[in-house]
Amino acid sequence: MKRKNKKAFHGIFNVAFCGLVYLFLFLPISVIVVNSFNATTSKPYLSWKGFTFDWYVELWSNTSLLSAFGNTMIIALVSTILATIIGTLGAVGMYKYKFKGKGILNSLLYIPVVIPEIVLGISLLTIFSNVNIPRGMLTLILSHVTFCVPFVIFNVRARLDGYDNSIEEASMDLGANRIVTFFQVTLPVLAPGIGGGALLAFTLSIDDVIISYFVNGQTKTYPLKVMESIKSGVSPDVNALSTIILIGTIVLVVLTQSNLLKKKKEE
Amino acid sequence: MGNIVEIEGVNKIYGTNHVVKDLNLTVEEGEFLTLLGSSGCGKTTTLRMIAGFEEPTTGSIKVEGESIEEKEPFERNVNTVFQSYALFPHKTIYDNIAYGLKMKKVPKNEIKERVTEMMSLVQLEGFEKRYPSQLSGGQKQRVAIARALINRPRVLLLDEPLGALDLKLRKQMQLELKRLQKKLNITFIYVTHDQEEALTMSDRIAIMHDGVLDQLGTPTEIYESPATKFVATFIGETNIFDGTVSFVQDDQVQVMIENGFISGKGTNFKFGEYMTVSVRPEKMKYSDAPVDGFGITAVVKDYVYVGSVIKCIVSLPNGNELKIERLAGQKLPEIGSHIYPYWNIEDAVLIHSKENSIFEALDSIVLA
Amino acid sequence: MEKKHSSHQFRSNTLPALVMVGPVALLLVLLVAVPLVYVAVMSFCTTDEYYNVVFKFSLANYGKLLSPDYIKIYGQSILIAFITTLLCILIAYPFSYIIARTKSKRKQLFYMLVIIPFWTNSLIRVYGWRTFLGTNGWLNNALQALHITTEPLDFLYNQGTTVLGMVYCLIPFMILPLYTAIEKLDGSLLEASSDLGAKPVKTFFEVILPLTASGIFSGSIMVFIPCLGYFFVSNILGGGNSDVIGNLIERQFKSGNNWPLGAALSIILILVTLLLVKIYKKLGGDMDSLGV
């Protein structure tokens, strides 16, 4: 059948094309994973000298790398929580209330999203140095909150677009005050948007190099540590840590996905 | 009139889902044929196979005697009016209607002429430069029809085209569609789940149920002599009695039902056969004394006034309700009184059951 | 009585509005608006011999921006961004189309597979390319092992590898909006087009492309603009001869220590961003879709 052949050909082409794209996306990652098992000890750690778990052991004694990773996690967690709270409140507030300067606020919101990160990074650096805030954890967290908040707001806002105002009125009609209504009605309905925004904020925060690079002071984050090590060749224990992180996130994704699937099935 | 569409032995299977089962159907040139059935009965799939959006798993579809399985939708001389209208949101009404002609590379001035003519035919003059989002549901509907008709298709396929309109507009569009079809003399294959719509518009109706073509006939045939229990209940209101044949003499059949016995006329019924009797409410009668051939009693429960007719709801001893229809103003029995329902035996429709007759069932038990 | 009622209304709306919007407003004003204004001001300043910023009006930095060396890099940067954006569209469009319109049950998985790589640090992934392509890298080793080449080839440290790294880092920002736009596309429109006699190519240009253009626009914004600033990609893969504007700024703020000049260079990026956003909006782009 001619028509069926054509369809089969399309099918093969589609699979091949997507396969190539996935290969492109995963190739460097496979390099990282493989090199984390590379027994070589000579810089720049490129040639293959056999399989070893040594780097995973070595990793535990590399305190500066581990503490940088710890910093990254602390910064990501704290800024995600702050950005999610500030962003959710802001999105709901901007949706519900009219106030002066709303238009300006709205435009300000787009700046961290569209402007090159380096511009945001250097502008934060100049202002922090001008008002003499010591650069470190505090400035890192403030900066991360700044570029994460708009993403939370957009995600929550997308959810608010389909939001039925009357459910809040119904809640108040049934005797709940504003605060109870917010926690009992508004928040649960917006939860998927908030969750999506928080996840995005977390992802952006742990991966951020450019902005952190300008506002970190002496504090090192994991990406900055990587940046430092690139000059001399990334040592395999960095690869080992990256591999652990990668596997951790994949496990997390698989768990949440299968949980979601289960929930869907139950429904 | 010749056959324009011939569907032979078509099956459509999605995975384990058998959507269309061994369908045979011929559509005559110039007729208005409706595929009627409830959702999931395979009517839309059938339409989509004619249009070319789906391929039959087995069987063949011919248009004008030519097999079309190998043709892509854009190579087929049929056009579709979509349920959702599927108007191109980024194109003006003019460009939407002109789309098919543009694809055929018709000269620009001819396109203009034909679009203008088509727009006046569907009463859309002056809407050329608007976009679909600026139109009402009824207007979008007209655009969708115009966009398909302008290509002068041999067959126009319509997939529940009036489903999204309100009742009044729907009634109006039904008449308009019928008028257009007669005027242009194009074959229409129309899919709907609305039996009233099917009865008003169609030359013939094909009733589908669970992927099977239950009956094909004119609206009168379908209404007056439904071939299956499903058709009887799906088209119009009716009273259904399930029972077994207890006595046959010539074409007179007596049927044993749960609460007694009833009579009707039919051929090929055997003693003991499991079957169904359908009687339309307007054919129902009642008496205050038993009637020959009938052995059922009922209690009058309620009256419902529907315009010029009154529906009398009566209840059989087992709780099943019957509807008896009377013109308003006629004398009616009091609520709570006992009556003896009956009918002229030629007014009952006797339907063979798809299930095994009791004999066959007994046979199989004995054999086992 | 009525007055009391209205004052109650006033209070009940202002307080919650302030509580909810206040924090975000404070954050955006203090950490976005003020710093940017400050950078703009600084761009008109000079430095003393110890590289301290001197607040004295001067156009000297803007004069330096016009030096031929810099202008060459702007051109190069814009070219790299342009080619990167184009490649992202050419790869991401068919890819997104296939995964957004697949009927497979694993659609969700296909989507997640695009995102998973981006939970590994981007620097180290770009470095992975260096490992792969280097003179002693996987590709060269493989080529030599297969006797296709005898000497290691120089893949690295040119504009091509910089573009590769940029495409690699930024392609999800093209895939995600395209995926969203293509998934929203109503399938019956494609059927209608085919039904009306349009061949697949015609359907693509007449229906699919115009209706998914919004995804291309927002994707292009999200790829092109960062591309001008991603200094680390050209640092790792470009080997110094494929600098982008971001490299110039970075140098002034780190090793060069001439902040006012760096600020002036940033103004270029701000202006380019404003211009592109303006074009984007003119094309009917939705700002919110840039962040979701």
Query: What residue in C sits closest to A260 (Cα-Cα)?
Result: C108
Residue A146 near residue A215, CB atoms below 8 Å: no
Structure confidence at residue C2 as a pLDDT band (50, 70, 90): very low
Structural domain contains residue A129 = yes
- The chains found to touch B (3+ Cβ pairs under 8 angstroms) are A, C
Residue B99 to residue C195, Cβ atoms within 8 A = no
The total of structural domains in chain A comes to 1
Query: What residue in B sits closest to A4 (Cα-Cα)?
Result: B70
Give C186's contacts in chain B (Cβ within 8 Å).
84, 86
Burial bucket for residue B18 (CB in 10 Å: 0-12, 13-18, 19+): middle
Structural domain contains residue C152 = yes
Query: What residue in C sits closest to B157 (Cα-Cα)?
Result: C195
Best CA proximity match to C290, nearest among A145, A102, A111 = A111
CATH code 3.40.50.300 for B3-229: yes
Structure confidence at residue C174 as a pLDDT band (50, 70, 90): very high
Q: What is the largest distance, in Å, between two alpha-carbon atoms of chain B?
A: 79
Query: What residue in C sits closest to A251 (Cα-Cα)?
Result: C116
Q: Identify the pLDDT of residue B271.
A: 86
Residue C195 near residue B101, CB atoms below 8 Å: no
Structural domain contains residue A150 = yes
Closest Cα of chain B to C278: distance in Å? 22
Give B69's contacts in chain A (Cβ within 8 Å).
1, 3
**pTM of the full structure:** 0.83
Residue C249 to residue A203, Cβ atoms within 8 A = no
**Would you tell me how many other CB atoms lie within 10 Å of the CB of residue B217?**
18
**Strand, helix or coil at B156?**
strand
Closest Cα of chain A to C44: distance in Å? 14
Q: Identify the pLDDT of residue C226.
A: 93
Closest Cα of chain B to A155: distance in Å? 26
Closest Cα of chain A to C191: distance in Å? 16
Q: What is the CATH number of the domain that holds C271?
A: 1.10.3720.10
Residue B69 to residue A3, Cβ atoms within 8 A = yes
DSSP, residue by residue, A11-76: HHHHHHHHHHHHHHHHHHHHHHHHHTTB---STT--S---B-SHHHHHHTT-HHHHHHHHHHHHHH
Q: Identify the pLDDT of residue A263.
A: 62
Q: Identify the pLDDT of residue A46.
A: 66
Could you give the C-alpha distances from A41 to A196, A237, A238, A243, in angstroms and in order?
Answer: 42, 11, 13, 18
Residue B84 to residue C186, Cβ atoms within 8 A = yes
**Alpha carbon distance B55, C217 (integer Å):** 36
Nearest to A234 among C17, C127, C235 (CB): C127
**Alpha carbon distance B214, B228 (integer Å):** 7
**Alpha carbon distance C150, C134 (integer Å):** 15
Q: Which regions of B47-132 does DSSP assign to beta strands (E)?
A: 58-63, 66-67, 78-81
Structural domain contains residue C54 = no
Mean pLDDT of B58-70: 87
pLDDT tens column, B187-213: 999 999 988 899 989 999 999 999 999
Residue C281 near residue C68, CB atoms below 8 Å: no
Tokens of C283: 């094309």
Average pLDDT, chain B: 88
Closest Cα of chain B to A232: distance in Å? 55
Mean pLDDT of A183-206: 87
Residue C261 has pLDDT above 50, yes or no: yes
Q: Identify the pLDDT of residue A56.
A: 85
Residue A29 has pLDDT above 80, yes or no: yes
- The chains found to touch A (3+ Cβ pairs under 8 angstroms) are B, C
Average pLDDT, chain A: 85
Q: Identify the pLDDT of residue A227.
A: 87
In the stretch 80-109 of chain B, residues with CB closer than 8 A to chain C read 80, 82-84, 86-90, 99-100, 103-104
Residue B69 to residue A4, Cβ atoms within 8 A = no
Question: Which ipTM value was assigned to this complex?
Answer: 0.87
Closest Cα of chain B to C102: distance in Å? 16
Backbone phi and psi for residue B229, each to the nearest 5 degrees, phi listed first: -60, -40
Structural domain contains residue C29 = no
pLDDT tens column, B295-324: 899 999 998 888 888 889 999 988 888 999
Q: Identify the pLDDT of residue C147.
A: 78
Q: Chain C contact for B63, CB < 8 A?
A: no
Residue C36 to residue A111, Cβ atoms within 8 A = yes
Structure confidence at residue B361 as a pLDDT band (50, 70, 90): low
Q: Identify the pLDDT of residue B367.
A: 59
Q: Of A45-54, A167-176, B112-121, C126-135, where does the model show the most confidence?
A: B112-121
Query: What residue in B sits closest to C192 (Cα-Cα)?
Result: B86
Q: Chain A contact for B250, CB < 8 A?
A: no
Closest Cα of chain A to B4: distance in Å? 23
Q: Chain A contact for B60, CB < 8 A?
A: no
Q: Identify the pLDDT of residue B359.
A: 56
Residue C281 has pLDDT above 70, yes or no: yes
Structural domain contains residue C155 = yes
* Radius of gyration of chain C measured on its C-alpha atoms: 25
Give A3's contacts in chain B (Cβ within 8 Å).
55, 69-70, 72
Rounded to 5°, angle at Cα A155 from A182 and A192: 60
Rounded to 5°, angle at Cα B166 from B163 and B172: 90
**Would you tell me how many other CB atoms lie within 10 Å of the CB of residue B135?**
18
Q: Identify the pLDDT of residue A44.
A: 63
Residue of C52, C96, C123 best to disrupt the A interface, most CBs of A under 10 A: C123
Structural domain contains residue C272 = yes
Average pLDDT, chain C: 86
Mean pLDDT of A79-84: 96
Q: Chain A contact for B69, CB < 8 A?
A: yes
Q: What is the CATH number of the domain that holds A120?
A: 1.10.3720.10
Residue B228 has pLDDT above 60, yes or no: yes
Judging by DSSP bridges, how do beta strands B3-14 and B17-28 pair with one another? antiparallel
Residue C89 near residue C173, CB atoms below 8 Å: no
Backbone phi and psi for residue B188, each to the nearest 5 degrees, phi listed first: -110, 130
Domain that holds residue C163: 66-290
Structure confidence at residue C1 as a pLDDT band (50, 70, 90): very low
Structure confidence at residue C264 as a pLDDT band (50, 70, 90): very high
Rounded to 5°, angle at Cα B177 from B171 and B178: 95
Domain that holds residue A128: 64-234
Q: Identify the pLDDT of residue B360.
A: 61
Best CA proximity match to C183, nearest among C97, C123, C122 = C97
Give B151's contacts in chain C (Cβ within 8 Å).
196-197
Residue of C196, C206, C212 best to disrupt the B interface, most CBs of B under 10 A: C196
Nearest to C197 among B84, B87, B103 (CB): B103
Residue A136 has pLDDT above 50, yes or no: yes
Residue B51 to residue C191, Cβ atoms within 8 A = yes
Question: Which position has the higher pLDDT, A266 or C20?
Answer: C20
Give A4's contacts in chain B (Cβ within 8 Å).
55
Residue A116 to residue C125, Cβ atoms within 8 A = no
DSSP character at residue C289: G
Question: Which position has the higher pLDDT, C277 or A1?
Answer: C277
- For residue C54, which amino acid is it? V
Residue C197 to residue B88, Cβ atoms within 8 A = no
Structural domain contains residue C190 = yes
Rounded to 5°, angle at Cα C129 from C128 and C133: 125
Could you give the C-alpha distances from C58 to A71, A122, A129, C67, C261, in angstroms and in order?
Answer: 41, 20, 22, 17, 11
Q: Chain A contact for B53, CB < 8 A?
A: no
The total of structural domains in chain C comes to 1
Mean pLDDT of A32-39: 84
- Unique residue bearing structure tokens 């009707």: B264
**Alpha carbon distance C247, B319 (integer Å):** 87
Nearest to C196 among B53, B90, B151 (CB): B151
Could you give the C-alpha distances from A158 to A109, A264, C28, in angstroms and in order?
Answer: 15, 22, 20
**Alpha carbon distance A145, A112 (integer Å):** 11
Mean pLDDT of B333-351: 90
Give B70's contacts in chain A (Cβ within 8 Å).
1-3
**Alpha carbon distance B207, B210 (integer Å):** 10
Best CA proximity match to A159, nearest among A195, A106, A105 = A195
DSSP, residue by residue, chain A: -HHHHHHHHHHHHHHHHHHHHHHHHHHHHHHHHHHTTB---STT--S---B-SHHHHHHTT-HHHHHHHHHHHHHHHHHHHHHHHHHHHHHHHHHH---TTHHHHHHHHHHHHHS-HHHHHHHHHHHHHHTTPPPSHHHHHHHHHHHHHHHHHHHHHHHHTT--THHHHHHHHTT--HHHHIIIIIHHHHHHHHHHHHHHHHHHHHH--HHHHHH-TT---HHHHHHHHHTT---HHHHHHHHHHHHHHHHHHHHHHHHHHHHHHH-
Give B104's contacts in chain C (Cβ within 8 Å).
197
Nearest to C117 among A17, A26, A234 (CB): A26
Residue B29 near residue B187, CB atoms below 8 Å: yes
In the stretch 250-309 of chain B, residues with CB closer than 8 A to chain C read none
Best CA proximity match to C28, nearest among A193, A132, A112, A93 = A112
B·C CB contacts under 8 A: 61
DSSP alpha helix (H) spans, C101-158? 107-115, 122-133, 138-145
Q: Identify the pLDDT of residue C6.
A: 41
Residue C56 near residue C187, CB atoms below 8 Å: no
Residue C114 to residue A25, Cβ atoms within 8 A = yes
Closest Cα of chain C to A105: distance in Å? 6
Q: Identify the pLDDT of residue B266.
A: 85
Q: Which DSSP helix (H) or strand (E) runs through C96?
A: helix C68-100
**Alpha carbon distance A207, C231 (integer Å):** 15
Structural domain contains residue C13 = no
- Unique residue bearing structure tokens 């044949």: B245
Peptide bond into A44 cis (omega under 30): yes
**Alpha carbon distance A228, A62 (integer Å):** 14
DSSP alpha helix (H) spans, C185-291? 187-195, 200-203, 209-229, 231-233, 245-253, 259-282
Q: Identify the pLDDT of residue C10.
A: 45
**Alpha carbon distance C286, B365 (integer Å):** 72
**Domain ranges, ordered by start, for chain B:** 3-229, 237-367
**Alpha carbon distance B26, B308 (integer Å):** 39
Closest Cα of chain A to B74: distance in Å? 13
CATH superfamily placement of domain B237-367: Nucleic acid-binding proteins (2.40.50.140)
Nearest to C195 among B79, B87, B90 (CB): B79
Percent of chain C past pLDDT 90, that is, above it, reads 44
Tokens of B134: 């600026």
CA atoms in the 13 A half-sphere facing the CB of A34: 16
**Strand, helix or coil at C75?**
helix
Residue B86 to residue C186, Cβ atoms within 8 A = yes
**Would you tell me how many other CB atoms lie within 10 Å of the CB of residue C206?**
20
Q: Identify the pLDDT of residue A264.
A: 57
Structural domain contains residue A209 = yes
Structural domain contains residue A138 = yes
Q: Identify the pLDDT of residue A232.
A: 75
Hey, what long-range contacts does A97-103 have (CB within 8 A, 24 or more apart)? Answer: A97/C13, A97/C16, A97/C17, A97/C20, A97/C21, A99/C17, A99/C21, A101/C25
Closest Cα of chain C to B170: distance in Å? 22
Residue C121 has pLDDT above 80, yes or no: yes
Closest Cα of chain C to A137: distance in Å? 16
DSSP character at residue B119: H
Nearest to C21 among A99, A142, A234 (CB): A99
Q: Which DSSP helix (H) or strand (E) runs through C80?
A: helix C68-100
CA atoms in the 13 A half-sphere facing the CB of B259: 15
Query: What residue in C sits closest to A227 (Cα-Cα)?
Result: C123
Query: What residue in C sits closest to A248 (Cα-Cα)?
Result: C119
Tokens of B115: 């679009």
